[in-house]
Amino acid sequence: MNYKKYVYKIEQNMITIEQFIRRYHFEDKDKELLLATGRFLSEINEVEAWIGYGKDQVTCIATLGERYDRLLDVVMESQHLLMAYSLECFAMEFLSKTYERMNETVFEETDKWIGEYHFIGDEEMIKEIVCGKNLEEDSSDLSVNWEKGMLRPLKSVIFTAEYRDKREESGCHDCEKCDNLTCTFRQIITKNVRKPREVNVDAKSAVYSYGISRIFSGRKQG
């Protein structure tokens, strides 16, 4: 499989702060903090990605890099939980935007879109990819590793996806077809055909996403 490396810059204006606040259950009073945090992160961070082009599908690898992990460690040590949680949420947003950018890249390279994402959970398959067994020379600088049962850097993902002929069949457009209005990763879209039901979220008792769970339960150290 032939892998190619890409570097993506995720700009702050690609993330709508009002949607961000609703999606991750922040309060409106946190808006200025979140705007400043998003601006800082978008200025210092780039996403490295590798796309392996197969006959019927692509294999995609993306990482926010070690610097993002180190920054989160510093914030965690400061005991600023709100800031730490915002970094976790921005990481998920940056990776989500990266999926869209990779989808566009695949179309530019192959004239095909990528379909539903299949995130790899098999340890041996992950090792086979990140240890270089399936990488060509142009991806010898892959900076994602498998260490002690997890990907490093921590903000890294690996997934496969089949090719699709139509953009609306791609994985990036699942939100537009989904009726689950309470999904935290949903793109907030106004639909004229139906009135979205009102959802009241109690921020004190809400079950938060993976990011906030890790903050309150402690991070696994390598």
Are 183 and 19 in contact, with CB atoms under 8 Å apart? no
H/E stretch holding 118: strand 118-119
Q: Which two tokens stand for residue 180?
A: 């689950």
Strand partners, 150: 147
Domain-wise residue ranges, the chain: 2-217
Q: In the CATH scheme, what is the code of domain 2-217?
A: 3.40.109.40
User: How confident is residue 136, by pLDDT bands cut at 50, 70 and 90?
Assistant: low
Q: In angstroms, rounded to a whole number, what is the distance separating the alpha carbons of residues 179 and 20? A: 19
3-state secondary structure of 155: coil
Q: What is the pLDDT of residues 75-118, one digit of tens each?
A: 999 989 999 999 999 999 999 999 999 999 999 999 999 998 99
User: How confident is residue 63, by pLDDT bands cut at 50, 70 and 90?
Assistant: very high
Q: In angstroms, rounded to a whole number, what is the distance separating the alpha carbons of residues 68 and 90? A: 11
Q: Give me the count of residues in the chain.
A: 222
The one-character DSSP state at 2 is E
Q: Which two tokens stand for residue 179?
A: 């009726």
The one-character DSSP state at 194 is S
Q: Which two tokens stand for residue 190?
A: 């106004």
Are 47 and 92 in contact, with CB atoms under 8 Å apart? no
User: How confident is residue 134, by pLDDT bands cut at 50, 70 and 90?
Assistant: low
